[in-house]
Structure 1
């Protein structure tokens, strides 16, 4: 139970173990650290936030400098700090700018310069910790060291659980580096090999595989030549749909988030990361195939499953659906086949909708309407387009779409003025939202 100062029995025990470390020999230190790692696994987000503070990192750096904690033991602790930072969704870790931050930078650069084989494992571990702990952009110099080290570690084919855990941590660290800037072609071969090997052997953990795709998608989706590989060779649509469907089956949607087991909470975390990657893909990838229709259907299933007890996930689903309507290569009939049109209608009518969700739902239908107003030169396409328009119109009429839009008329101005979102303003002309045959 969380006290007024945010301290729980778990956090008290963690702090007691940590401050008693310097009085132990290395083996006893390791046992205490393993116990601390176990405590972090059980802690809730708010508990972790009370211990993963700047003071902790500065204390660790002092223990290292004074040789009261070996670097190996510090890495054992910090690797798990970074890992649970990700799993518990701690947005800011207070690691940046600490004395420990500077120690890691110095050691990584030093070990990379020496380039000795005996330093390789230590260098990889340093890079893992640094990638997981660091918030924001990493310098090009450090990226040029960390990314190859982590990819090399992630390429290990050993199926043992211990090895695969290290691979998972390496790929998790890499996945957030997609936001950084470096020469893409340097790492293309390795990440493709990791994804292809997983598709053939299925030996990676779910989080490791998602992290590999996140790294790949964020770096290469804007490369025109590689888009064909992403869509037609590596089959992003098929793979993401398969993973999403399995995760959807694993989560007990009747439970509220706080009632979930550790395994269910981790599956939910991975599912959210897939939704982020799919959202990015739907926004920027300009190739589309039948597998992507299956992907839309998978997002819709999550959308519906999550809406009662997991509004954060449900709200996350609207973005890839809306962005699909903004992608010029996505056809309206594909959105129909995937169930997106019906699902968004249900969302608008089925419960109290918050402003952000409402805005995105209305934007979804605005974009659908605009797509259906586009001119077709080919006669067959004109006939097909007319049939789709009729189907959409009937669905909207059947579901009371006109009444729904009219009921929101009075708050359009509020949404336009108060939602600081990078979308086109909603029109006051309600007729603009309807599809005429």
Structure 2
């Protein structure tokens, strides 16, 4: 209960590191070794720390390299995905929602390159698929960390492919239940990937390697009928942009990866 109470402290409430960092790291590390906390308590410890990270970049090395957030979050999300009783919508649902909120902030804030990110994205892609049929609220929450990951330079395009994230979003955009907000997030996801593959952010990458990445993503999109799908709902983009966004591109080519 104490950890849950700490997790409710707003990120804009400033707390000096000397008042919490040593102790919260000890709590997390002790649980990693002994599994002494409930899943809600463990998630709460991380949520408290990640709320501090949002405004204090000096915590990044502790979170990424010392405590291995990506590995821990992936393991917890994978466990919850397997054990959730979707019909009962019990405590596991509440906990996994909180993990998704924290992970979305993590991708937004984290700048270090990290091989552990692929596993975390894979766990979210699995949850995305599992929740799609039974619990749309969770499925909708999954798109935010994936969209944030697509934008970050420290997340490799290869990892977006290997983790199944691109496939999961391609599947979502073809769903008959796709709503306007989810459509906007999917549009943004693919526009961000397209922008990165144009070379502006990947100038140091060898041209042959960049073209190979573009080819792989283009082929996956082609297999899933992505172009036809986007073209068929393109008329909704201006409406979605007006209702949910301010900066979705009105140029349809921005949502394609051309080879």
Q: TM-score, normalised by structure 2?
A: 0.94
Choose which of 51, 57, 73 in structure 2 pairs with 1:240: 73
For 1:429, the equivalent position in structure 2 comes to 251
Deviations 1:245-274 (A, max 9, x none): 111111134x2xxxx1xxx51011001110
Matched, 1:273 2:98: yes
**5+ long unaligned stretches in structure 2:** none
Within the alignment, does 1:410 sit opposite 2:235 as a pair?
yes
Q: Please show how residues 242-261 of structure 1 align to structure 2 within 5 Å.
A: 242-253=75-86, 255=87, 260=88
- Whether 2:29 is the aligned partner of 1:196: answer yes
3-state secondary structure, aligned to 1:172: helix
Evaluate the alpha carbon distance shift between residue 355 and residue 284 of structure 1 in structure 2; reply closer, same or farther with a 3 A threshold: same
| Cα offset, 1:220, TM superposition | 2.4
User: In the alignment, which of 364, 370, 377 is matched to residue 189 of structure 2?
Assistant: 364
Q: Does 1:295 align with 2:120?
A: yes
In the TM superposition, residue 436 of structure 1 has moved relative to its aligned partner by: 1.9
Question: Using the alignment, how far apart are the partners of 1:393 and 1:178 within structure 2?
Answer: 42
Alignment of 1:15-414 (within 5 A): 169-179=1-11, 180-253=13-86, 255=87, 260=88, 265-375=90-200, 376-378=202-204, 381-414=206-239
| Structure 1 residue 377: Cα displacement | 4.5
Q: What corresponds to 1:76 in structure 2?
A: none
Closer, same or farther: CA 359–428 of 1 in aligned 2, 3 Å:
same
Bigger relative contact order (CA 8 A; separation at least 6): 2
Q: Assess, with a 3 A threshold, how the Cα gap between structure 1 residues 372 and 214 changes in structure 2: closer, same or farther.
A: same
Provide TM-score, normalisation by structure 1.
0.57
Q: 1:176 and 1:182 mapped to 2: Cα distance?
A: 13
Q: Give, in whole Å, the separation in 1 of the partners of 2:203 and 2:183.
A: 35
| Alignment check: 8 A CA contact 1:221 1:230 kept | no
Output the CA distance in 1 between the equivalents of 2:14 and 2:107.
Answer: 21
- Provide the C-alpha distance between the structure 2 equivalents of 1:328 and 1:291, rounded to a whole number of angstroms: 15
Query: What's the RMSD between the two structures over aligned residues?
Result: 1.5
Conserved 8 A contact 1:222-1:285? no
Contact 1:282 1:324 in 2 (8 A): yes
CA–CA distance in structure 1, aligned partners of residues 3 and 213 of structure 2: 43
Deviation at 1:415, TM superposition (A): 1.2
**CA deviations over 1:290-322 (Å, ceiling 9, x no partner):** 211100000111100001120000000000000
Q: How many residues align?
A: 257
Question: How far did residue 429 of structure 1 move?
Answer: 1.7
Structure 2: distance between partners of 1:171 and 1:178: 14
Rg larger in 1 or in 2? 1
Contact 1:221 1:227 in 2 (8 A): no
Query: What displacement does 1:430 show?
Result: 1.1
Aligned to 1:92: none
Conserved in 1, the CA contact under 8 Å of 2:7 and 2:45? Answer: yes
For 1:306, what is the secondary structure of its paired residue? helix
Preserved contact between residue 132 and residue 139 of structure 2 (Cα < 8 Å) = yes
Distance in 2 of aligned mates of 1:200 and 1:175: 22
Task: Say whether the 8 Å CA contact 1:241–1:298 is kept in structure 2.
Answer: yes
Alignment check: 8 A CA contact 2:114 2:154 kept: no
Aligned equivalents of 2:62, 2:241: Cα separation in 1 = 40
